[in-house]
Amino acid sequence: MMVYLTLMVDPVFRSINSSLPEASSLLGKLNGMLYNSDFVIDYPRPLPPNFINIGGLQIQKTPPPLPKDLEKFMNEAEHGVILFTMGFIFDSKAVPRSMITNLFKAFEKLPQRVLFKYKLELNDIKVPENVLLLPWIPQQSVLGHKKTVLFITHCGMHGVLEAIYNAVPMVGIPVFIDQSDIMRRMLDKGIAVYLDKSADHQTILQAIEEARDNPIYKENVKKLSILIKDRRHSPMEEAIWLVEHIARNKGDNHLRLASGNLNLLEYYCIDCIIVIFILVFFTFFSFYVSLRFCLKRRKEKYD
């Protein structure tokens, strides 16, 4: 992190305003951080006391009821419902028609109904009878519905945690930024199947069938669902406490790590390493010189 800030972020700051402080200095002065993750899907790591995981902040224990038409669509799904959504930043215009075609070819072979979040009309592509296109979907309400059997997601942290909370296995299609990293964690936890965004319809179908029919994914996500609900305080309560605590006390210097005030050399103990290297070097050099001197004197003696 320190190297990244020094080599990558600081030049950007200087290009904007040469008087801006170094990025590492700003990071060291943070009063707190609300971290969008949860250890049920993240890797265990030591965090400062003013860094709090609030992943799942948006999750509602009792999501609002579905619209009547959508409720009817789901209740009448004999074999369940599959939810497909790529997040709120998903641009329908940017999706290649070949990808939509491959998805539809896979979906039409499924006995399940499919809820597909898509904002444009598809006049040039036939939509399968079991697929319902909607410009907006109440995601939490759908994931919490008893008929939902699978979630096809772009691996955004919000959606993944909502699916875990509701014990819904997933097929992940990471697109950019941190989504591949989250997909890796989903695979490690055994709650999802990976699918490349350029996959053909047969590969898409195989991924869906694997996640839907292999009970290990459902079992694993049920275990994580229990864990994410088993906490002393909700993420919202944790976030409110930290913000109010900092406001009441005009900061939280007592919670900051001393390492936040160290520069790059100090943080990685490079100054200590240099001193140790010099001492070791001169020790071996002195030994080498002494040895040569002794060997030379011995040779002169015998000569």
Domain that holds residue 208: 68-229
Instruction: State residue 300's pLDDT score.
Output: 65
Instruction: State residue 114's pLDDT score.
Output: 97
Nearest of 65, 80, 227 to residue 150 by alpha carbon? 80
Q: Looking at the structure, tell me whether residues 169 and 276 fall in a common domain.
A: no
CA 70, 92, 148, 164 dihedral sign is: negative
Instruction: State residue 86's pLDDT score.
Output: 85
Q: Looking at the structure, tell me whether residues 46 and 122 fall in a common domain.
A: no
- The count of domains in the chain is 3
The CA distance from 57 to 233, in Å, is: 11
Residue 244 lies in a domain: no
Residue 153: which H helix or E strand, with range? strand 148-153
Instruction: State residue 204's pLDDT score.
Output: 96
pTM metric for this prediction: 0.84
Which residue shows structure tokens 């406001």?
A: 247
The CA distance from 107 to 150, in Å, is: 12
Alpha carbon of residue 261 to chain centroid: 28
Residue 186 lies in a domain: yes
Q: Bridge partners of 52?
A: 34
Residue 204 lies in a domain: yes
Q: Looking at the structure, tell me whether residues 11 and 82 fall in a common domain.
A: no
Q: Looking at the structure, tell me whether residues 95 and 29 fall in a common domain.
A: no
Instruction: State residue 90's pLDDT score.
Output: 67
Residue 218 lies in a domain: yes
CB of 193 within 8 A of CB of 171?
A: yes
Q: Looking at the structure, tell me whether residues 198 and 158 fall in a common domain.
A: yes
Residue 236 lies in a domain: no
Q: Looking at the structure, tell me whether residues 83 and 221 fall in a common domain.
A: yes
Residues in the chain where the model's pLDDT stays below 70: 1-5, 89-92, 299-303
Residue 235 lies in a domain: no
CA distances from 106 to 10, 129, 153, 221 (A): 47, 12, 16, 24
Q: Bridge partners of 114?
A: 82, 131
